Amino acid sequence: MAAEQLECAPTTVSKWCTNSCQPPIETFIRIAELLEVSLDELVRMDKN
């Protein structure tokens, strides 16, 4: 997903991907919308 779609810097997205920091909940919602998944699906952590 392009940083432009989220209106943020590529370095910010990189920090999210490396788990250096987390986006605000509003951004999680936007990512879920762009990916056409529910917020639950986006943040679900399967331990299997």
pLDDT at residue 26, rounded to an integer: 93
- Residue spans per domain, the chain: 7-43
At 20-40, the pLDDT tens digits run 999 999 999 999 999 999 999
pTM of the full structure: 0.75
The percent of residues above 70 in pLDDT, for the chain, comes to 94
Work out the mean pLDDT of the chain and round it to a whole number. 89
- Rounded CA gap, 21 and 36, in Å? 23
Rounded Cα distance between 18 and 32, Å, is: 19
Determine the Cα angle at 20 with ends 19 and 24, to 5°.
80
- Residue carrying the six token digits 């997903």: 1
